[in-house]
Structure 1
Amino acid sequence: MSGRNMTLILLAVIVLFVVSNAVFVIRETERAVMLQFGEVVNPDIQPGLHWKIPFVNNVRKFDGRVLTVDSQPERFFTQEKKALIVDSYAKFRVADTAKFYTATNGEEARAMSLLSQRINDGLRNQVAVRTIQEVVSGERDQLMDNITDKLNEVALTELGVEIVDVRVKQIDLPPDVSESVYRRMNAEREKEAREHRSLGQELAEGIRAAADREVTVLEANAYRDAELIRGEGDALATAIYAEAFNEDPEFYAFTRSLRAYGEAFQGGGDMLLLQPDSEFFRYLKDPMGGK
């Protein structure tokens, strides 16, 4: 191979090397800044194909997607000076590439570490002004919204990142107080159960007393109505008997005697001691009754 060919090949390699160092690509999921001797000269490079001056410009790329920082569980104290173990996480993305590079040197791990500290500080301040009930359930959503708003301002100003969301994964009591809290909650529930049972028994006694009183009143009214109906029936029957007797006194006396005979001789072993001329034998001696 001649010296001329070697020179051409060497020039082609040099040109290829220079071009490869002068061209760079920014993807849609990336954010980047261009540096010139360590100084930011282009803080917001758009996605696409770009050129730079080899050995003069340097490009730092960052992940432009939403990232997650998972903070370590921390112990916070509530308004009642009760300790809680709070486990949280946050979603963020790079918003200001120049500030992000300046504050973290473009290192995501460092950014997450700084952001985790600020999340814990925000949680500590929010939990300190609330009770356990408010932190656990009553104002949990409001607490998250307040932390997100305040942390977003600080993170954007200091770190150049936007806080998308802050959430609490889990809230636990420290092991040293869990048992005492459980016993107190159990005692409160038992007290509440006793109060409910006492109230239920009181209501039950009142209902039973009202029912017994109503039963007594209903029975008395029913007995009164029955006696009135029975009296009216007896009066009507007596009137009918009297009317029938007045129409045919002899027939009435005859039927009364037959009924008396039937009742007297109903038992086979019964004995009657009567005078032979007794009125009882009137229709036995004469079917016409002595007429």
Structure 2
Amino acid sequence: MQRLFPALVGLVIALTVLSSCMFVVRERDAVLLFALGEVRKTIVEPGLYFKLPPPFQTVTRLDKRLQTIETNDPERIQTSEKKNLLIDSFVKWRIDDPRLFYVTFGVNERAAVERLQAQIRDALNASVNVRTVQAVVSTERDAIMREILSNVQARAKPLGVDVVDVRLRRIEFAPEISESVYRRMEAERKQEANRLRASGAADGERIRAQADRQRQEMLATAYAQAQAIMGEGDGEAAGIYAGAYGKNPQFYDFYRSLEAYGKSFGGQGDTLVISPKSDFFKFWGAAEGENASQQSRSAAPAVQ
């Protein structure tokens, strides 16, 4: 038993020394290997590794996982119009160079977060101060996020930090300017509505004017065609009348006289003052018109 005890003590010591010479790097870790207080190696690949026992070599672990910085209170940023906006943002970042990160911050990630927040605040001010409220709120929001990301990435790279993404989560008006901004936006919308109404009224007048012009053109064309057709009809009628008159002039003269009688005595109260000897009554008593003047004197009334 006395012989086994020293052997057990030696085995425990050997296992302790062996365990101090072994370390495991996990997926989420970045390990710095120190030798006498100086960084000798950076290990980011997971696995089992060996080193000299302390104090000859020691290891320091850093978290290389993707991390998020969220603002507790919205930042008050002023636009080019001297209007205050409350902007709430968040940032995704991770350790890119463990050696640089350790030299800058040690193992204090809180210090890194505070440094990044200050850089983000500066970049946010630089991008928003040169833009109007409308540009920040709607039209150039994506451009602002790209500018902030590029600015912060360039400033965080020498610190061993990689800024992956920057997002403006919420943008609100400061209470003291909300009412005035809303009134201005309402006035702009009313102005735009009036412009659209005026444009619509002008388009309506133009369309109506075109329709009236087309109507007048169609009526003029139709009238010209009707007059042409009427002229052709009158010409054909005149030709027919002329042909009929040429075949039997006496009958034609008699027919025309009957038409004249019908038009002259169409109503009960019609009065005609004319001499009974006139040629107008030449067919009044004689169907063929012969000696109509003598016969019509006794048959035709002088008045009525």
Query: Fold conserved (TM > 0.5)?
Result: yes
Contact 2:254/2:283, CA 8 A, preserved across alignment: no
Match of 1:24 in 2: 23
**More deviation in 78-87 or 163-172?**
163-172
Match of 1:75 in 2: 76
Tell me, yes or no, if the aligned pair for 1:257 and 1:280 is still in contact at 8 Å: no
Q: CA offset at residue 195 of structure 1?
A: 2.2
Matched residue, 2:216: 216
Shift of 1:258: 10
Aligned to 2:111: 110
Partner of 1:95: 96
Structure 2 counterpart SS, 1:25: strand
Q: Aligned partners of 2:139 and 2:247: how far apart in 1?
A: 95
CA 203–153 in structure 1, closer or farther in 2 if over 3 Å, else same: closer
TM-score under structure 2 normalisation?
0.75
Q: CA deviation at 1:79?
A: 1.4
1:104-143 superposed matches below 5 A = 104-143=105-144
In the other structure, the counterpart of 1:274 is: none
Closer, same or farther: CA 133–248 of 1 in aligned 2, 3 Å = same
CA distance in 2, matches of 1:88, 1:19: 49
1:63-103 CA distance string (max 9 Å, x none): 22333222342111111111112222222221221221232
Distance apart, 1:110 and its partner CA: 3.3
C-alpha deviation, 1:34, in angstroms = 2.0
Q: How far is the alpha carbon of 1:139 from its aligned partner?
A: 3.6
Aligned equivalents of 2:285 and 2:215: distance in 1?
54
Determine if contact 2:89/2:168 at 8 Å carries over to the other structure. Answer: yes
Whole-Å Cα distance in 2 between the matches of residues 244 and 96 of structure 1?
Answer: 120
Distance 2:140 2:190 in 1: 27
CA distance in 1, matches of 2:188, 2:147: 32
1:50 aligns with 2:53: no
2:85 counterpart of 1:84 = yes
Query: CA shift at 1:278, angstroms?
Result: 8.7
Q: Specify whether residues 105 and 193 from structure 1 end up closer, same or farther in structure 2 by C-alpha distance, changes over 3 A only.
A: same
Partners in 2 of 1:134 and 1:192 — Cα distance?
Answer: 18
The answer for the alignment partner of 1:234 in structure 2 is 234
Q: Is the 8 A contact 1:70 1:116 kept in 2?
A: no
Contiguous gaps of at least 5 residues in structure 1: 264-276, 284-291
Q: Take 2:154 and 2:186, find their aligned partners in 1: how far apart are those partners?
A: 43
1:13 corresponds in structure 2 to: 12
By how many angstroms is 1:253 displaced?
Answer: 7.0
Give me the whole-angstrom Cα distance separating, in 2, the residues matched to 1:36 and 1:221: 107
Query: Contact 2:105 / 2:112 at 8 angstroms: preserved in 1?
Result: yes
* Of 182-191 and 46-55, the range deviating more from structure 2: 46-55
Deviation at 1:122, TM superposition (A): 1.4
Displacement, 1:237? Answer: 0.6
**One-letter amino acid matched to 1:150:** N
Indicate how the Cα distance of structure 1 residues 13 and 239 shifts in structure 2: closer, same or farther if over 3 A, else same: same
Q: Which residue is equivalent to 2:278?
A: none
For residues 234 and 187 of structure 1, the distance between their equivalents in structure 2, rounded to whole angstroms, comes to 69
Q: Establish whether residue 40 from structure 1 lines up as the match of residue 59 from structure 2.
A: no
Q: Tell me the TM-score normalised to structure 1 length.
A: 0.78
Q: Secondary structure at the match of 2:149?
A: helix
Which one-letter code corresponds to 2:3 in the other structure? R
Letter in 2 for 1:171: I
Amino acid at match of 1:209: A
Paired with 2:162 and 2:227, the residues of 1 have a C-alpha distance of: 92
Q: Counterparts in 2 of 1:200-279, with a 5 A limit?
A: 200-249=200-249, 279=283
Give the secondary-structure state (helix, strand or coil) at the position aligned to 1:35: strand
Say which is worse superposed, 100-109 or 82-91, in terms of deviation.
100-109
Counterpart for residue 291 of structure 2: none
Q: Helix, strand or coil for the counterpart of 1:44? A: strand
Q: How far is 1:259 from its partner?
A: 9.4
**What code does the residue aligned with 2:165 have?**
D
In 2 relative to 1, CA 121–77 (structure 1 residues): closer, same or farther, beyond 3 Å? Answer: same
Q: Percent identity?
A: 41
Cα distance change, pair 170–40 in 1 and its aligned pair in 2 (3 A): farther
Q: How many pairs align?
A: 272
